[in-house]
Amino acid sequence: MHRWELSGQFPRQPDDERTDAIDALSPRLEQAISVNIGEWLLADAELDINGKDIKAHELILGKGGPLLAAQGREWLQELAKRPLSLYEVREVIKGKGLILVDMLNPDQPPVQIREKAATGFLTTWDTFGARLVWQYDSFVMSGAVYPMERATALDCLEEIKSEIEHEEGDPALERYITTSTIIDYWLDSILETKPLPQLVGRKFRGHP
């Protein structure tokens, strides 16, 4: 029999004050947390199996995993391949999509994504954490979104850059630092009393 446990936590282990704040969240924010946890489990969570850390998606896609339709397998592979990052809206194309800049990789060209719903409320310079995945013929947002006020996103960006600067170019570690920092900043922001950007609780068309 295999012994396994989840390696790492989402959210991080809360203290009593944070637990009370989480319990008091609105249904809309509870739904956002549920969506984001679900995607994190599929894309980034690791299971400690007999002392060895194994990605959850590797177990699902590997030998002995559940039977999945081709579309489902492709979607899970995309989630696993594409890291979470911070994005800035540069242009809103009403009814069609967005042009985004990866704040962590500013030298990369802007990317246009297919996202009709968000064009109704996002504006230029809005910032959020997200995972962009390739679907059919274009990039889409995967479904989990981490909206932040611009000042919060810039603080998050600086912390990620500072943490990564002290590492030796390990892509897996950089992905972990980026993911955990975005999640922590987002969780802190939703536990504050000020209203969040309208991305929270919205549904996106990125799901298969």
| Type and span of the H or E element at 48 | strand 46-49
pLDDT tens digits, 15-32: 666 666 667 777 888 888
Start-to-end Cα distance in the chain: 34
- Residue 153's pLDDT band, with cuts at 50, 70 and 90, is very high
Q: Please provide the average confidence, as pLDDT, over all residues in the chain.
A: 84
> So what's the pLDDT on residue 10?
61
> Residue 41 in 3-state DSSP?
helix
CA distance 4 to 101: 39
Percentage of the chain with pLDDT > 90? 54
DSSP bridge pairs for 139: 113, 134
61-99 residue pLDDT tens: 888 888 888 888 898 999 999 999 999 999 999 999 999
The structure's pTM equals 0.82
- Cβ neighbors of 190 (< 8 A, separation 6 or more) are 25, 29, 32, 33, 196, 200
Q: Cis ω on the peptide bond leading into residue 208 (within 30° of 0)?
A: no
**Which pair of structure tokens corresponds to residue 3?**
């012994």
82-91, 146-155, 186-195: segment of lowest average pLDDT: 186-195
Give me the pLDDT at residue 197, please.
53
